[in-house]
Amino acid sequence: PGPVGRRGYWRTVGLTESIISELDTDHHFVHRSTIPTMHFQDSLPRLPVPKLEDTVKRYLAAQKPLLDDDQYRNTERIAREFEKGVGRKLHRDLVEFDKKNKHTSYISDPWFDMYLCARDPVVLNFNPFISLNPDPKEAYNSQVVRATNLVVSSIKFLNSLNNEFLRPDIYYVNPKWSQSRLFKKFIRLLPTSVSWYGAYMVNAYPLDMSQYKRLFNSSRIPKLNKDELFTNEWGRHLLVMRNGHFYVFDVLDPGGNILHPSEIQAQLIYILQDADRLPEFSLCYLTTEDRNTWAAVRQQLLEAGNEDNLQKIDSAVFCLCLDNISPKNDTELSHCMLHGRGFNRWFDKSFSLIITSDGTAGVNFEHSWGDGVAVLRFVNEVYRNSTRHPAIVPHSSPAALSATKCERLKFKLNDSIQSAINAARMKFEETNEKLSVRMFEFRKFGKEFLVKQKLSPDAVFQLACQMTAYRQFGKIISSYEACSTAAFKHGRTETIRPTSILTKQCSRAFVEERSKHSVAELRSMIDECSKYHRRLQLEAALGKGFDRHLFALKHLSVSRGDPMPELFLDSTYQNLNHIILSTSTLHSPAVHLGGFGPVVPDGFGIGYNVFDTWLGCNTTGYLNRELQEFLRCLEYSLNDILDVLEGRPLV
Ligand code: BUJ
């Protein structure tokens, strides 16, 4: 491999632009963008380090609804002392450090550390899933046809990325520009040092694309105390899992050509037949272990002579899991995509494409390398490409198996490794047993109705969750909504704190003071909450939250071995970061479901979406009864909101 890596691979192996354009784009790429994939990277704006005063102000505003007056006064005092004292110095050093590291963002390294130093298992605690809608053409949903088509589209995505043909992610305020050829040609001509400004002139915001380099050929490697991310962009093989067995075969030739779809199909059929029973010990369970335990066992695996196999797993383009299960409903589907039965997953892989026996597809991804925006883009493109330009049709014949070699990986397992696998399996099964997944649908209104009411659909859903928690727990509880900061170079996420004095007042009115307020008063409270939430959302997307800033200050303090500032030891700080309601949303015509586990033992993981005419969420939690109660109260809250919006008093 040369220093340029696989990016621009075709050029490095001697294929010129003109030759590439003679090739049938459809067979190799998902599309060919006029604007190169990384065109904006050099000129992306930098994630701002917020002013310390603003951070403290926002922090206190988020704390206020959670505390009584005495507690608040104490928290306020600690925060003000931090602002004037140790926090000020830390902030100054952070700003200084940031100025010297213009190639990245202030949050990038601390955030990688947050993920990679965490010792909890990645499964349930970190890896989310996104499942795809079925192929609209019924017959294309058989397991082998869907898997072949999705694998081919995924490899086309990879080729597009490596050759800079993948359209850069751009958030268009006015989507008409996304269709304008003139705009794209103009932007393409701009030097990369100023290209971002060209887009900005028409209110279009290019997003950071740096995470995509770890989408393929990547794996998280367990290490003592801090894991590492591994990428080998020269890997050309796919990892396929079936019944706990590992298979690899090349899906790309050295020239970057995708293996003929009929050959991929033939390999998958072969694997389905070959892996007819479960192995006595499936290594997969080890990736469900806590990270230090797994790191130690991995060392044993290496010493027992399994280095080549582990290398093949880690460098594979991605992991395809051909599951031997047909989920009967969305709850079973969620369980399958979120954790499965443990023996047919490699949770450390950057992502695994899971296809069940009935052809349902989903992606489970490791979170440290990247966020929802990159994975959703991948899901959208492969869904679109595989349904519009399927590589094979239901009656396609597979190739005769000969040319391509499919290898089943055989591992050398000694007694100690075998008992580690057994222990991991027992722990994994025990934890899964406790996890409840519950679907919730509310069909009485959705985005269209709320927009007509001049309300933010997201704000209304979040407000309903606040009212729900207030009804259920009798108080405001710590809540989190994920927000992308990909508009900035090496941006990750910021936290929106959906709790405020306004949502507290409104929740109290709806729960405890139902007859005290007129409909007009209640309506105006909802309006205020919506406005405030919109503001928080915008601020977070612009990097003007408080969570990441405080996190980076704490990280700096810890990394220097300073005594821990009082602010971070304050029990109210810890309470604010004990997230009971962890929420995330995404919208896409390609997506059927999504979800993730709770982030604390007594919390809920809430993946939600407000659709045009209804809304729904997919919830997880270890406290089954509480989770059920939460959804019962959520329905109640949404009905209340509807009553008020339609002018009916609360009864
Ligand atoms: O906040 C972060 O830094 C990253 C977050 C972490 N956390 C999940 C804990 C909030 N990660 C993400 O937000 C990525 C989540 C990806 C899955 C999102 C699921 C959304 C579900 C949509 C559809 C649900 C529809 C249900 C209908 C019944």
Q: Residue 13 above 50 pLDDT?
A: no
What ligand 1 atom has the least distance to the C-alpha of 615? 27
* Other C-beta atoms lying within 10 Å of the C-beta of residue 113: 15
For residue 69, the CA-to-ligand 1 centroid distance in Å is 34
User: Residue whose CA is closest, atom 5 of ligand 1?
Assistant: 482
**Mean pLDDT of the region 509-516:** 96
What DSSP assignment string belongs to 244-260?
A: TEEEEEESB-TTSPBPP
Q: Whole-angstrom Cα distance, residue 602 to residue 624?
A: 10
CA 270 to chain CA centroid, Å, is 32
Question: Is residue 596 lining ligand 1, measured as CB closer than 6 Å?
Answer: yes
CA distances from 141 to 138, 157, 185, 378, 381 (A): 6, 21, 39, 19, 18
For residue 269, the CA-to-ligand 1 centroid distance in Å is 33
Report the percentage of the chain scoring pLDDT > 90: 93
Question: Is residue 337 lining ligand 1, measured as CB closer than 6 Å?
Answer: no
Three-state DSSP string of 106-139: CCHHHHHHHHHHCCCCCCCCCCCEEEECCCCCHH
Question: Is residue 584 lining ligand 1, measured as CB closer than 6 Å?
Answer: yes
Instruction: Give residue 309's pLDDT band: very low, low, confident or very high (50, 70, 90).
Output: very high
Q: Whole-angstrom Cα distance, residue 336 to residue 343?
A: 12
For 195-216, b where at least 16 C-beta lie within 10 A, e where not — what string? bbebbeeeebbbbbbbbbbbbb
Question: Is residue 617 lining ligand 1, measured as CB closer than 6 Å?
Answer: yes
What ligand 1 atom has the least distance to the C-alpha of 441? 28
Q: 50, 89, 65: which is closest to 565 by C-alpha?
A: 89
Question: Is residue 87 lining ligand 1, measured as CB closer than 6 Å?
Answer: no
CA 112 to chain CA centroid, Å, is 14
Q: Is 39 a catalytic residue?
A: no
Q: Whole-angstrom Cα distance, residue 483 to residue 496?
A: 7
Question: Is residue 202 lining ligand 1, measured as CB closer than 6 Å?
Answer: no
What ligand 1 atom has the least distance to the C-alpha of 579? 9
Question: Is residue 594 lining ligand 1, measured as CB closer than 6 Å?
Answer: yes
What pLDDT is stored for residue 307 in this prediction? 98
What pLDDT is stored for residue 8 in this prediction? 46
Q: Residue 23 above 70 pLDDT?
A: no
What pLDDT is stored for residue 26 in this prediction? 75
Q: Whole-angstrom Cα distance, residue 349 to residue 230?
A: 10
What pLDDT is stored for residue 254 in this prediction? 87
Helices H / strands E in the chain, number of each: 24, 18
Q: In what order do the strands lie in the sheet with 129-132?
A: 407-408, 245-250, 237-242, 319-322, 351-355, 361-365, 129-132, 591-595
Q: DSSP code of 46?
A: B
Q: Are the C-beta atoms of 649 and 519 separated by less than 8 Å?
A: yes
What pLDDT is stored for residue 306 in this prediction? 98
Q: Which of 39, 91, 367, 555 is catalytic?
A: 367
**Mean pLDDT of the region 424-444:** 97
Beta bridge partners of 441: 616
Instruction: Give residue 571's pLDDT band: very low, low, confident or very high (50, 70, 90).
Output: very high
What pLDDT is stored for residue 19 in this prediction? 46
353-400 pLDDT per residue, tens = 999 999 999 999 999 999 999 999 999 999 999 999 999 999 999 998
Q: Whole-angstrom Cα distance, residue 453 to residue 459?
A: 12
What pLDDT is stored for residue 402 in this prediction? 66
Q: Where does residue 133 rank: exposed (0-12), middle (13-18), buried (19+ CB within 10 A)?
A: middle
For residue 314, the CA-to-ligand 1 centroid distance in Å is 25
Question: Is residue 128 lining ligand 1, measured as CB closer than 6 Å?
Answer: yes
Q: Where does residue 246 rank: exposed (0-12), middle (13-18), buried (19+ CB within 10 A)?
A: buried
What pLDDT is stored for residue 27 in this prediction? 84
What ligand 1 atom has the least distance to the C-alpha of 591? 23
Q: Are the C-beta atoms of 266 and 406 separated by less than 8 Å?
A: no
User: Residue whose CA is closest, atom 13 of ligand 1?
Assistant: 584
Q: Are the C-beta atoms of 370 and 214 separated by less than 8 Å?
A: yes
Q: Which of 112, 596, 604, 610 best tests ligand 1's pocket when mutated (most atoms within 8 Å of CB)? A: 596
Q: Average model confidence (pLDDT) for the chain? A: 95
What DSSP assignment string belongs to 503-526?
A: HHHHHHHHHT-TTTS-HHHHHHHH
What pLDDT is stored for residue 278 in this prediction? 92
Question: Is residue 439 lining ligand 1, measured as CB closer than 6 Å?
Answer: yes
Q: Which of 493, 584, 586, 617 best tests ligand 1's pocket when mutated (most atoms within 8 Å of CB)? A: 584
